[in-house]
Amino acid sequence: MELKCRENPIVMKLDTPEFKNLLTNEVLDLKKLFEKYHYEIRIAGGAVRDLLMGIQPKDLDFATTATPDELKQMFTNENIRMINMSGEKHGTITPRINDKENYEITTLRIDMITDGRHAEVEFTKDWKLDANRRDLTINSMFLGFDGSVYDYYFGYEDLRIRRVAFVGDADVRIKEDYLRIMRYFRFYGRIAEKPNNHDKETLEIIKKNVSGLGNISGERIWTELKKMLQGNFAGDLLKTMLDVGVGNYIGIPDPDIEELNKVLNRSQHLQLHPMSYLAALLRDIDAVTLLHSRLKFSGYDRDLAYFLVEHRGDKDDTRTLLPYEKLVLNTKMKQKNAIEYTHELLKYKGDENLLELFNKWEVPQFPVGGKILKDNGVPPGKMYGPIINKLKEIWIDNEYKQSADDLVKLIPNVIEEFANKNKTKH
């Protein structure tokens, strides 16, 4: 693709504290090594974007004119260990510098054949061609060690006006890898200043290509979606994504937009967990199962979605916090998870007073266990579970005031109650 691009790609020289902080001993040693072997190397992609926004990058990726074989030869000569060789087929080698930092270094490349999921690559020494294969203009810039920002496709201008645009023709870019639809929304949340300032034509092109997401693995989709739901405008972006038809291809064929709107109105400011946004769209437990089978959540995220959907209904009790205390005290899961899930549930419901009470609540320890039953003459057997549950119920209803001794006195009554129940059954 012949795109309009800059004659002179250097748009500015960075001299910010964030840039200087990047130049650690390890980074400077890497630079010297490449100078020694006469290969060009620049910082690539996200770190350049972050620096231009005044953000300290979390990690650094590099691009180079050296081929993977040349890189391996260089690092071998210098006795530098290389790790994670799985990136090699994409042209990425990861050396461990000074036994301290790992850096991904990728050879400049052109995507020769793409099928919407994977690309066959050919290596190049042309920086512009490598920039041309990247997804968004704001991600297609490079940075020299002297602070020179190289921008071939006007990403610098787009970043200044907070515009998210594909490099060149959006339709071609998306068809190369349909995951770029998800990446568009994620980066919109990273850089845009308004929730709905999308370029209409871009959204139309996404809409036309959205079925391609059906061929992308759930894990890759969830990686992008989760990051998007942790960024700005998560709720608005989710609605825009559903408007362009993403739902059918990521496991939400029948989204509950009304519930999502309710949750956004009352809870958006509470920094919701990504699963709260998704749970709001899911009408019932079956919808959670369907979405999990598509996106392959971690056990923690999957169980949080089930928990939110199961317990989000109204709860009536004169002690308003009691139903939520019970969710923690009667749980079969790890108590730590039950506390975190209940905390998220109260955020989902937007009840800030209860949330504050719950945060202050100290989880009481139920004082009776199997050993106490045994010491008090209860014969071992199936009765232990029901007796403990019944005593716990009484203890909770009495606001956790009873000691082990108080509860032990109730054991004969509880056993008698069970015996009478069994008689009536027979």
Distance CA(240)–CA(112), nearest Å, equals 32
Q: What integer pLDDT is reported at residue 196 of this predicted model? A: 95
Task: Give the global pTM.
Answer: 0.89
Range among 78-87, 107-116, 234-243, 371-380 rated most confident: 234-243
Provide mean pLDDT across the span 292-305: 98
Q: What integer pLDDT is reported at residue 243 of this predicted model? A: 97
Q: Are 350 and 260 in contact (CB under 8 A)?
A: no
Is the pLDDT score of 113 beyond 80?
no
> What region does 13 belong to: left with phi over 0, alpha with psi -120 to 50, or beta?
beta
**Average pLDDT taken over every residue of the chain:** 93
Phi, psi at 133, each rounded to 5°: -90, -5
Determine the Cα angle at 345 with ends 341 and 351, to 5°: 140
Q: Which two tokens stand for residue 271?
A: 């920094």
What's the pLDDT tens digit per position in 235-256?
999 999 999 999 999 999 999 9
